[in-house]
Structure 1
């Protein structure tokens, strides 16, 4: 099948690469600042495991090409996918305008972007009006297909999905999309067909529910410390209940990333513009921002409310493992708080050093170092913000030798309190039983 993907950020590139890999002829077209020359050279806007190799292989096998001319993408497509970031609504509108003016065949337009509920219906109405004004009778429909990709595992999310949500009233469009997505829908039927508005709302609802769950778990863990309870024991009891399960049941220093919280904020904003409130979701977002500073507050109390001259080592800057992104990451807010109180920070992350330096603008109070042990040299405490695998089994003796004081504040609970204490460290996790 001939597919054109408009948008060469993470979602668009994963979609283009995965569809090309199963035999489709795919043309990918940037809609923002990404350049075709960079894409062809393997320079991607986001670092994602396996993505560069996937795209390079599909180009080599001539199933994937990159193009700047939007009209060529329209001429190529049987299915045209809009995969722009949520803040690129203007570009999506321009693509719809182009289709309305230039399309000369039946076409299925797929919206993967997270736009307000009702966008797909509005796009389809706009296209039908444009065709009517031209006196054309082509069948052009818009299908809502929200993406559920997560940075660090985006290729697996697309090729081995938990569900594929399709929103459309057009049976022929759904049949076409079922055929296009058939390679990723083999074990059981993962496709859920619904109205366009329900499909769009599903994406928001999933993120809202997960955000609420994470914030509630964090609150329960924080409160467990007041009772001298290790929340890990409670987590085992909670997860054993089949109604709850273990997914997203780990307490920590808050969630981040470019899309997760932004989608929840967008839903809250959309509801407020319609005259409705979303008190619970607003509280979830507020609590999460507070949770990003949970390790700072622990350190503040431990060091008697005075961090001037205190040196802090930080392990992990990205908002999650296996990604180089620090946008909306808990590390940024925590480090800001430490520096505002006069602390000096040494930080290390396996992939996110460059992205963090762009966000931080080279302030003197933060030193980015070359490896995880350099971040411990002469520090008064270690703060763990991201649960990269290389941090899980460190050389404890080397750590103690390097650190001025053997104190650990663990925002991802990667260590066992008894084991790490037996190594001679003072250890404070999130909800691990010891209150400061």
Structure 2
């Protein structure tokens, strides 16, 4: 098929590239000329594992093109995807100006019947409103469908190629069948292709993200409760996760969620509910809990140092809101950096991918380190914010030599508290029972001990 994807952000670029990889002719459109020039040169504006290689191969083979010429791209295509940004507006709802502008330009460019597919995350009713706005511009027949994305940053290629399900919202069965044909190569393992109304498809995306965000805020609130009563959230998590009604996914305690989706979508749902005079008490609480959770490491660090915090140096491992991405939108690390700088703390940071984005915000206010161990040099403590795999099994002997004092605030519960105490660290996780380091060290110095119990 001949496909146009308008918008070369995260969703648009991944979708267009994966469609091209499955044999379609794809044109990716963006209004930013510099971005298109760089894409043609093989410079990818985002970090996503595997994406650069796919873009290069499909561009080389002629299945993937980049342009700023929206009108020509629409004319050359059978299906046009809208994948422009819908950022949070001042009122908390989604800002749809980009969708409306692109829709009008598509309508003015139509030379025959087309299927227009909204891939962007949009409030319920956007499909119908876009169709109305486009019909006011052109007499040429067209269909507007909705096809929400369910891509996880850091695993987007796999998610697109091996989806749990594909959801489309259509007005006519013929449009659904055309989209089923397009997605056929990705559904060979009998994953469901779900056809529904556009309104239901629009809502499906929001409901999915709201539920996942709720699970994160729930486990974080329970973790804080565990810590207050000297229970261990990791043990509690195992205790509940084997219940098939509950499971383990998205029940990892930490420093809160961030990124471009969960915070924005939760607030959009709150705005949608309020626009109909309905309460959104649960979603409001999820958002409040998450914003408060971003301060957990701040309280732990400043509480540990007390009046002596000013002049201390803290190393931070992990800046992106999650591993395998360079995205720092709504990242908990930024909350931590802001609070520590305000308290007069010096900061040394390391992240495998996100340092350039953080540097644009903070400039020379903090020190950037190419290696995780480099961030530890002369630091009075380490704070772990993002669970990159390379942080999971470090050399603790090297760490304890480099740190000025052996203190770790683990925002992702990567390590065993008892083992850390036995190695001489002062260690605080999220929702973990406190371990008396001095008692552990005394036990090892006076008696032969079986180390088996220290295994994770």
In 2: Cα distance, 1:312 partner to 1:412 partner: 17
Deviation at 1:33, TM superposition (A): 6.5
Within 2, Cα distance between the matches of 1:260 and 1:415? 27
Q: Is the 8 A contact 2:86 2:98 kept in 1?
A: no
Do residues 111 (structure 1) and 118 (structure 2) align?
A: yes
What does residue 178 of structure 1 align with? 180
1:186-215 per-residue CA deviation (whole Å, 9 max, x = no partner) reads 112321111111111111111111111100
Distance 2:83 2:281 in 1: 30
CA RMSD of aligned residues (A): 1.6
Find the counterpart in structure 1 of residue 23 from structure 2. Answer: 23
| CA distance in 2: counterparts of 1:267 and 1:297, whole angstroms | 30
The alpha-carbon deviation at position 273 of structure 1 amounts to 3.0
Provide the rounded CA distance (Å) in 1 between the counterparts of 2:33 and 2:385: 30
Q: Which residue of the partner structure matches residue 232 of structure 1?
A: 234
Question: What are the residue-to-residue correspondences of 1:284-363 with 2, within 5 Å?
Answer: 284-363=286-365
Name 1:97's counterpart in structure 2. Answer: 104
Deviations 1:230-285 (A, max 9, x none): 11111001110101111001100111112221111122123223333312211211
- TM-score under structure 1 normalisation? 0.95
Unpaired stretches in structure 2, ≥5 consecutive residues = 88-94, 437-456
Query: d(CA) in 2 for partners of 1:231 and 1:251?
Result: 8
1:124 aligns with 2:126: no
Question: How far, CA to CA, are the matches of 1:95 and 1:308 in structure 2?
Answer: 50
Deviating beyond 6 angstroms after TM superposition, the runs of 4 or more aligned structure 1 residues are none
Is the Cα–Cα contact under 8 Å of residues 311 and 345 in structure 2 kept in the other structure?
A: yes
The more displaced of 99-108 and 232-241 is 99-108
Distance apart, 1:61 and its partner CA: 1.0
- Do the aligned partners of 1:215 and 1:284 also contact (CA within 8 Å) in 2? yes
- Aligned residue-pair number: 429
Task: Summarize deviations over 1:56-81 as a string: whole Å, max 9, x none.
Answer: 10011111111111111111110100
TM superposition score normalised by structure 2 = 0.91
Which runs of 5 or more residues in structure 1 are unaligned? Answer: none
State the match for 1:432 in structure 2.
432
CA distance in 1, matches of 2:188, 2:31: 32
Which one is further off, 263-272 or 14-23? 263-272
Whole-angstrom CA distance in 1 between matches of 2:46 and 2:284: 29
1:308 positional shift: 1.2
Distance 1:410 1:397 in 2: 17
Contact 2:85 2:98 (8 Å CA) reproduced: no
Q: Could you tell me which of 150, 166, 169 is aligned with 2:168?
A: 166
